[in-house]
Amino acid sequence: MNQHRPLVDVIIPMRNSHGTIGRALHSLLDQTETRWRAIVIDDGSEDKSATTVHAISDPRISIHYQEHAGVSSARNHGFRVSDSTHVCFLDADDTIDPSYFERMIRLAAGGACGVICGCRYVNTSGSPILPAFVPSRRVLTREAFLSMDCPPIMSILHRRVSLERIVRDGLLFDDKLEAFEDWDMLMRVVCAHKGSDDLWSIVPDLLASYWCTPMSLSSNIRCVYACGLDMIRKHGSSDHAHSWKLRSWAACIASSEISMASEIYTDLGSLRDEDFVAVLGSLRWQVCRRNAINETQLAHHADHVQQALASSLLPGALLDRLLAEVEQWGINRWALALMNARRLVPGAGRLVVYGLGKNGQRVLVQAECSGTKVCVIDDNPDCNIGLHDQIEHQSLTPTDIVLVTPDDSGAILHRLAAITPARALTIQEALELESLRTSDAHRSNQPSV
């Protein structure tokens, strides 16, 4: 094999990225696998972005120019220039870890479409602000993509042959879309490989970083909502559309887009009981993402969110319930749920965390911080459980307490009730134990009649 032929083409669209493109390129220069080529597409930049690229003297980095036509056009331009067997799309403000290519290329042949790794979300200081994306068989499905839970684009190393199957009229990305062009591309990849069991190999470790900056009150939030709804209606069901409306409503509240929030709520008709937890999770996520903060800083934004909620068209009972939940943002709900669940465990029992999605990760972080010993159950065989003991459903005993972390926990609770005598409770139920305990204590302090 020619040791100098690039194994990977890294396509980097760039527009007015003077402050970040150097960081992205240096993450390539630090790679332990050196057979890569960076194809930078300058999409009509008006700052010193190109000067920054030229200042990094490395023959593996090339820059190509086009008039401003958008990120999809720039990526298509880069794909036409590329010819390596593997392709990675890296935005000009994101980075990958030094072992990314070495570890990803090793596994890429195991999937029909390539390989996916975990990705952390960080603020401009490099500190984590949101639960990381951790790939699993469960989240790499058409159903998961229809829930708009897609891998960050730089976390995927594509096999070129899989991308060539979905090129239409010479275009890989649909340059007419105003949003979700990467989601659209992944959906077409999934549809083009129907019948393949394992589209992607998985590296569960976090080898990529999505750098988040505070977002202004989104002037294009209406466009994003409409575009997402159109694509979901094209590929999905009314339930998928309902979920997207819930998430979009939360985004509007987080952005103080009250008029649009009211329109979406009117379109929803009402919120179902099972929607409440999903709305709360989306609202927390949106506030963190739009302000580039972590959940410990949510309390600073509670007043702002409560004002937005109070200005919306929510009915009184629902509004009061949401306002009460936002009031609790100063409390670390994950630590509290963990602590309350731990108090239920008898001496010989175990505290078991079920699910290593975003909520499960939050609970495990609190367990590690507090030194709380937990066991883990997850339906994904590829999950990274760290230092925790992984157990099977069948090993649960009546003395175990299972903290079920996914928001959509109904099916899990039903299955556990059918196969194990262990007590299972959701995050919300664990939190409510605190209010019950407070009420009991209050009653016990009342004078007897």
Q: Express each pLDDT in 396-423 by its tens digit.
A: 999 999 999 988 888 899 999 999 999 9
Q: Which helix (H) or strand (E) holds 412?
A: helix 410-419
The architecture (CATH level 2) of 333-441 comes to: 3-Layer(aba) Sandwich (3.40)
Give the separation between CA 228 and CA 219, rounded to whole angstroms: 16
Alpha-carbon Rg for the chain, nearest whole angstrom, is 24
The stretches in the chain having pLDDT less than 50 are 1-2, 217-218, 436-449
Domain ranges, ordered by start, for the chain:
8-211, 236-330, 333-441
**Tokens encoding 343:** 């108090």
Nearest to 21 by CA among 55, 72, 68, 44: 55
What is the CATH superfamily name and number for domain 8-211?
Spore Coat Polysaccharide Biosynthesis Protein SpsA; Chain A (3.90.550.10)
Between the alpha carbon of residue 93 and those of residues 49, 76, 122, 204, 212, the distances in Å are 12, 19, 11, 23, 9
| Burial (CB count <10 Å: 0-12, 13-18, 19+), residue 81 | middle
Q: What is the pLDDT of residue 197?
A: 65
Q: What is the pLDDT of residue 282?
A: 92
Q: Is 156 within 8 Å of 108 (Cβ atoms)? A: no
| Burial (CB count <10 Å: 0-12, 13-18, 19+), residue 208 | buried
**Size of the chain in residues:** 449
| Burial (CB count <10 Å: 0-12, 13-18, 19+), residue 262 | middle
Q: Is 40 within 8 Å of 12 (Cβ atoms)? A: yes
| Model confidence, pTM | 0.81
Q: Express each pLDDT in 354-378 by its tens digit.
A: 998 888 888 988 888 888 999 999 8
The b-or-e profile of 139-148 (16+ CB within 10 A means b, else e) is bbeeebbbbb
Give the separation between CA 295 and CA 363, rounded to whole angstroms: 12
Q: What is the pLDDT of residue 218?
A: 46
Give the separation between CA 418 and CA 230, rounded to whole angstroms: 39
Q: Express each pLDDT in 145-183 by its tens digit.
A: 888 778 999 999 999 999 999 998 889 999 999 889 999
CB atoms within 10 A of CB 151: 22
